[in-house]
Amino acid sequence: MRDYSIKNRQEGLTEQELTILRVDPFPEDKGDNDITVFRDVFVNRRTSARCAICRGWICKGQRVRKRVEKFDGMVKSFLICPICCATAYRFATEDSTEAEDAWFDRYELGIMRAN
Ligand SMILES: [Zn+2]
């Protein structure tokens, strides 16, 4: 069973950000394994980093989704860039194949960039 009992600091988040947090960014990876989400919030990034989905660069100062989870006994932290977040928002709010394709294209881009 997945554990989604997340203690988030959600004050100050926009409606759009709260909607994005409802999209599971890694539905495929986990299968039936137990995961615990410790934190799933939006933060202003202080240093550059890579997006966990599209592998693109996140610049200092950008507002990004930060998710911390425990999976297979390991605690990992993921950042998701503004473009992937905007695409996730569209995926969550628009009932269209275009929105769905756009969301899955972000993962494809990440696979391409990783190789
Ligand atoms: Zn991204």
- Strand 35-44 to strand 63-71: parallel, antiparallel, or no bridges (unpaired)? antiparallel
The CA-atom distances, in angstroms, between 22 and each of 6, 91, 92, 94 are 11, 11, 8, 14
The pLDDT tens digits of the residues spanning 14-38 come to: 999 999 999 999 877 666 667 888 9
Contact between 88 and 51 under an 8 Å Cβ cutoff? The reply is: no
Gap from CA of 62 to ligand 1 centroid (Å): 12
pTM: 0.85
Gap from CA of 54 to ligand 1 centroid (Å): 4
Q: Based on C-alpha coordinates, what's the Rg of the chain?
A: 14
Gap from CA of 97 to ligand 1 centroid (Å): 20
Gap from CA of 7 to ligand 1 centroid (Å): 24
The pLDDT tens digits of the residues spanning 49-106 come to: 999 999 999 999 999 999 999 888 899 999 999 999 999 999 999 999 999 999 999 9
Gap from CA of 32 to ligand 1 centroid (Å): 25
